[in-house]
Amino acid sequence: MLIKIFNNPWLDTTIIIILFLIGSKILTFIIEKIVKGFTRKTKTKLDDLLIEKLDKTFVWLLFFIGIRIFVVPLLEIDAIDMVNNAFIIFLITLIFVRIIDILIDSWGINFAKRTKSKVDESLLSLFHRFSRIVIFVIGGIIILNNFNIEVTPFLASLGIAGIVLAFALQSSLSNIFGGISLILDKNFKVGDTVKLGSGELGVILDIGLRSTKMKTFDNEMLVIPNGKLADSIIQNYAQPDLYARAVISFGVEYGSNIDKVRKVVVETLKKMPKVIKNDMEHPIEVLFINMGDFALQFEAKFWVKSYKERYLSKMEATEKIYNALRKSKVGIPFPTRTVYLKK
């Protein structure tokens, strides 16, 4: 749009720029006093963050768009047009970066609330860096194209460099994406007791971007690459809930009263405070499972409210069952073998 005031393009340009600067100050004041006041009254925080991060950048974008519409046609200088366009492209790129940053942070907060888990800051940092690189590269290519710079060779070299870099960082990338998979899948969280497919048992201390730290019950620290952890079988004692079952195998003499054995063991387990009682989903069971070589084989099964109580409860229950059977005159055999010698 061509506006001539004094028929002097440079004087007209100066006046228009001054007017735009004054207008930008007025627009900034309106955003600060009116728009921000309105967004504070809404329930969501997303609009507050958008206004907070984008207000000045948006005002400057409107300023350079105004220059493009009103000043560039006056001067008719290609260099000024290209530089002004570069500023517009850069500001649009910056706005996109800040919007994506806000959306990533908002997703992280909502994801943590919805799943009642902690989103690793390194994961959000990875998303931030990846999105910024992609957006700035696209913006840079558009700016170079604006200056009539051939970008095809640059794109070709960038593709080759990307392939080489991917091969060089294959292991690291595998661990990073493994860490993302572990966090999103929620197979375990910090504080859970897990058993790995390779046999290690311990408590998860930290889930990082490249590795996971686990403390064993021998007070040893294991640092496991996330790539290997994501591909392994993991037994999580804290999921789907904290309830845990203990199983005690024992044998009694042949000729023992099976019903009596069941009654003695069940009554013994019911007297233990940490054993769950009168719960159909978590029953106390005493099963006669096998007639062995020298004993009638039984299994006593009971539940506790937390897997952390299982080990000590099992030890206590084993001792109490042994004492109760002896007190009830139920014999507990030891391995015996009769050998017949043929003369």
Mean pLDDT confidence for 64-68: 81
Mean pLDDT estimate for the chain: 80
Q: Report pLDDT for 303.
A: 95
Q: Report pLDDT for 115.
A: 47
Phi, psi of 313 (to 5 degrees): -65, -35
Which of 334 and 120 is assigned the larger pLDDT?
Answer: 334
pLDDT above 90 (res 71): no
pLDDT-derived band at 188, boundaries 50, 70, 90: confident
Q: In terms of C-beta density within 10 A (0-12 exposed, 13-18 middle, 19 or more buried), how is residue 269 classed?
A: buried
Contact between residue 235 and residue 198 where contact means Cβ atoms under 8 Å apart: no
Mean pLDDT confidence for 304-326: 93
pLDDT-derived band at 152, boundaries 50, 70, 90: confident
Residues with Cβ within 8 Å of 301's Cβ and at least 6 positions away in sequence, in order, are 245, 246, 247, 248, 283, 284, 285, 286, 287
Angle at 218 between CA 216 and CA 222, to 5 degrees: 35
Mean pLDDT confidence for 100-107: 82
187, amino acid identity = N
Mean pLDDT confidence for 316-329: 94
Residue carrying structure tokens 């919007």 = 99
**Structure confidence by residue, pLDDT tens digits, 6-29:** 566 666 667 777 777 777 777 767
Q: Give the C-alpha distances (Å, rounded to integers) separating 287 from 46, 266, 290, 299, 312.
A: 59, 11, 9, 5, 22
Q: Report pLDDT for 165.
A: 57
User: What is the three-state SS of the chain?
Assistant: CCCCCCCCHHHHHHHHHHHHHHHHHHHHHHHHHHHHHHHHCCCCCHHHHHHHHHHHHHHHHHHHHHHHHHHHHHHCCHHHHHHHHHHHHHHHHHHHHHHHHHHHHHHHHHHHHHHCCCCCHHHHHHHHHHHHHHHHHHHHHHHHHHCCCCCHHHHHHHHHHHHHHHHHCHHHHHHHHHHHHHHHHCCCCCCCEEEECCCCEEEEEEECCCEEEEEECCCCEEEEEHHHHHHCCEEECCCCCCCEEEEEEEEECCCCCHHHHHHHHHHHHHCCCCECCCCCCCCCEEEEEEECCCCEEEEEEEEECCHHHHHHHHHHHHHHHHHHHHHCCCCCCCCCCCCCCCC
Closest CA to 301 of 292, 290, 313: 313
pTM here is 0.52
In the chain, % of residues over pLDDT 70: 74
Contact between residue 92 and residue 61 where contact means Cβ atoms under 8 Å apart: yes
Centre a 10 Å sphere on the Cβ of residue 34 and count the other Cβ atoms it contains. Answer: 10
Q: Report pLDDT for 3.
A: 53
**Structure confidence by residue, pLDDT tens digits, 199-248:** 889 999 887 767 888 999 899 999 988 888 878 888 998 888 889 999 99
Closest CA to 86 of 101, 64, 112: 64
In the chain, % of residues over pLDDT 90: 26
pLDDT above 60 (res 331): yes
Phi, psi of 284 (to 5 degrees): -90, 125
